[in-house]
Amino acid sequence: MITPEQLAASGTEHGAQSAVFCWAAINQAKYPQLKWMHSSGNGIFTTSGHKAKEKAAGLKNGVWDIFLPVPKLIGADYWSGMYIEMKVGKNNLTEDQKEFAKTMRDYYKLHVCRSWESARDEIIKYLEK
């Protein structure tokens, strides 16, 4: 069986994100809410035609990579779910991603994660509160 560490070894954002979903699949029995965690699909295109087809079907620039659609009341804050944006190396948020964050920050818990482990840790913290 492939492990999150093997997927993340590529050093790419795709590898890190794949590692998060591998970890989620392994831990779904402990955290059943992970069943509905999903990706936006942004950034994974094989051709310009593929990207155009996905945009026609509703793909939006700036939407963050991972969404966990689990509402939570944490202290006095109510969150409709959690978004994670994976960034590896020196990559930073794009202007569209910053605009998305500004629009969503009052409704969703937001985290920019630079490793699959930090994404995993934020997911666990969110689910266990």
For residues 80 and 50, what is the distance between their CA atoms, to the nearest angstrom? Answer: 31
Domains and CATH numbers, the chain: 4-128 (3.40.1350.10)
Write down the pLDDT at residue 88. 93
Please write the tens of the pLDDT for every residue from 13-43.
Answer: 999 999 999 999 999 999 999 999 999 877 6
Q: Give the DSSP letter string of 25-76.
A: HHTTTT-GGGGG-EE--TT--SSHHHHHHHHHTT--TT--SEEE---EEETT
Average pLDDT of the chain, as a whole number: 93
Please write the tens of the pLDDT for every residue from 83-105.
Answer: 999 999 999 999 999 999 999 99
Closest CA to 84 of 25, 26, 124: 124
CA 81 to chain centre: 11
The helix (H) or strand (E) run that includes residue 38 is strand 38-39
Model confidence at 57: pLDDT above 90: no
Write down the pLDDT at residue 52. 80
